A and B are shown apart, each in its own frame.
Chain A
């Protein structure tokens, strides 16, 4: 997930764990031995952002229950760790999972901030981990051997949305706005670079998240008269921005990234102002199962089990669990063997092909686009081939 937490603490926490973890991890973390293997799931299960974490947890639960129902030789139990999305809670929980619970593998942590702090502990404890939703690009740059994710990072997202603007919308003039945040600024820059490569003329501006009047930005957009506007930032500002742009008479199509993938965008914009806006996300949310046969089956099974539609990151949670299930099916039950298997895995998942590069990033670069209609955000399709109506 987007990193809102400050990550400096991570370095301190990491070096502290090196000292603490060394003695604890001397013994091999054999998990269960014969019949069952324990896989952990870590994320904000009860806090204010739990709405982003419960769906991937349920996705993982579904995959594991389906696997156990086939009566395999080795069964899997899912153990949850409620980090509240906070690094300072994720770090001790990770230690507990490694030394006390001796988990074989972990799904999560779900957010980028907590990942930056807990991942070094997992690396030290040699426990493979796959995040379903931590999208900060820098996580892949630490040379971690046990870290993976099944979601495209913010750069992948920016490129995907940028190509959608160039190829599908065929926009010749693009106005790019960012919210000056650690998430929004690089995302907007990637989109800008991509559409520039696609031959579009660009202009840009940055807003202050605290401000209520975006009049200056609106006037700049008016002067530039673009075909499309991209905003890198969160829905609270995105909604206000759409409202003020429309009130200022700007009719160009509005696009944004996963930070704006929320009903709050349309509510903030008011009335039908946000209608037709396109929101990109490396995540697949496809309750009607239009993306693929696998997605259709997943949506039906998910609905049958939880009596709710698949929501944000549930398909990614399912895919992360599937990666471990495949490893265990192939006879790997220790953390290190599972990790070795992950470097060679190549299986079709629900959201994308499950295959990792040497850094732990998914090799698939699928980005999905959603189009605002009322306060709903139905899936439009894969950014590579979707067209707006």
Chain B
């Protein structure tokens, strides 16, 4: 008989938190789903002809046969293969870290690469560099898998046929001859934007040699209008970057600076430093967000207003007027002198803008307004001027010299190609055939050039269309340099020889200049010598410092203090369009960066495909996002059937171009606006990308690269099954996230104890004896919900560190995803205008772990340092532990994910096994690669703990000081987290960060009434709403009606099944 645990009532009072619209509406399917011990399909074979009984019968027979042939094999002979000549620094079995950097279009990310025996296995942030301070993000973590992607295996080809390197050398010579004879007029180069000074130097040399050559850059999501606006406001050759650590009031208008705006890590770090509230009286920043779709920045907002992107102009003009009203000045008068008088967008309360403006003005130079960098130039110029009027230039908004020199755009290159003057087109990186604006008809344009060459680290659609496909290098395979977002000069150091004999961009360019094939870092050294300006006798030392530390010290340009040229902006404001009317037949389209695959470059990366989108929790697909009201008016729906999202497929038509795609109803999305995530639908890229999502670039044109009006959605009557993880591993609504406003926190800092059942917990006694925890360290973790942005970088970092397999869309739909840490995203409030909270959940490492008591083979036990450890080699796969885990954090290997490709999981036992050699190279050698049939879960990175303990013992030798020095040990999730929301450490060390945070009054544990005593606890989220804003929520605490805890009155549970007691009742 099934034992029913009488959990306390889930919330007859206060706010409810919900993770999906199904949960909000309490659909019968969701209720049924919730009450299963395992998600449907996770444990059962619904359609499988092989029933459980038959399976056991067969297994019994095969075991008996196995017994007959027990002779087995002794271990085969293996070899130890040492180096013939040992390289310097290499000690077999010991890791080495090297500084390098990942090029990005907005500014490279300074990184450390961890290498084992010559193969890089993990990326970390460079702790020495201020833009990273040791943190990293999803793309940095996932780039390591890209390096080893088997789809990168390629040859030098011409017209699809393999050619020899000598042919390629001859071709370079031919291109040089041709370019010389036309002074370069016949040569065009289309390049991506890695912000590399060496490439910039070679480009200048190239343009000197071939003065009429065309050099164009194209990045589908590149900055452009922000630079235009900045040079308008602050003069040529300038660009800006926010400094959020100094900002106490932030207004973001359609700018996802914590997420897809590629706010680099410094933004997240700066924002969270102002967000962190430890004790009453600490200052907390306040974030206003105005945006069309619910973004990560929106989840952190104290006040969020959903607004269509095309209405941002009207909003900002009103804001400017309100700022002028609150702080009248002559310059604002002149700025607004020619501004059109636009009606406020529907549904926007003027009082909202007024109060927001007043709040910004009150904080003067510590306030900051941001807009999306792809919004129209006049809006951006207006916002820069407003920041200047608020006095924030130099404090929260830094103006620095521009890092790039202007080059032509892909449009002007297209015009040249059309005129027929281009004979040879060399494409460096990128994938214009896939992602060039649709109005250019780039594939046809490219094939009209007599000779096209494409250099790419991974063969993509452009390489297939080009005459020559040249294997390129990954950034971890070649020397290079780059500029960070703050303008500092970074070194890109190779970690491994090119796996498939690639050539880097700068090597290719230098050969095009007629120089011999460069050896090692020669090209970068030359640039370094120019930039570092060191005398000849010091250059060697300076270079080795540069390579060792990863950046040139003091190379960050000082921010300029410039006054905004508001009169230049005033004339532009007349271009601001009024907000369009709401019309279901003419929707607004927004082309958004995919948080998972960026502009499409990570589409063949299994980690990123399986990574749940932070807001929609969608994996392996992208979908059109719309609000529920829009869906209703168009007659579209989403159904959740057995945890699978069955989405209506629509035909989206914009200016005569059409794509078909599923829709996902997104809470908090603006009405009559449609978000189209880019980057999917790349079947050409490789087996992982195949069949994932739709290609939104087909609708995107060069003028409408961010937003467009006039989109039409038409029902097709078909549906598509989508793999969403939002309803997997649900713990029901039991006050898992706890929030308070700043005044509530100041009134009762221990508010978390008044929430839900915590005030009613009787003195619990454990039925089982507590495991002895007498270790030298006692590990614990605290997650601060106030600063966690929900970016999921911890998930990717954990995947990379702990050899977590990719299971594929089919398995995710069955609820079998393997991530050890997941980020639960909760909504609260109405589906149209919700607020959102993110909560990372990993193994709680319960002191009274329920999983341990049910394991029949002692495969999961406690160690003396308070860890709930998992011995894979003992596990027989009963899955009792996962059944008994109240937090749903255990993951089971239903298949041999490391031995079988995800489309061959169901093949029989005799089918060939094995995985790509290169994928094996990425595996962390210090973590077991798990096999089929074993349970796994977060270990608090026990391999790092043991490494640190061993290092302490090796250091101690014959002394007794075995303590791990404070701060030297970090878990993978903690190390990656740019918001520093995760701390980990030793509870026995009273001054450790983790001990101090656990002692805070706002610290609470999940499902505390179960008395499992988790070692992972949370700091309740503290919001800072402005009470003057209309509709502002003042009460966040879902208190049970008691101000203080009153456990005593409940200390003796009644003999009947009281809802307050946590014991089990039959």
Q: Do A and B come from one complex?
A: no
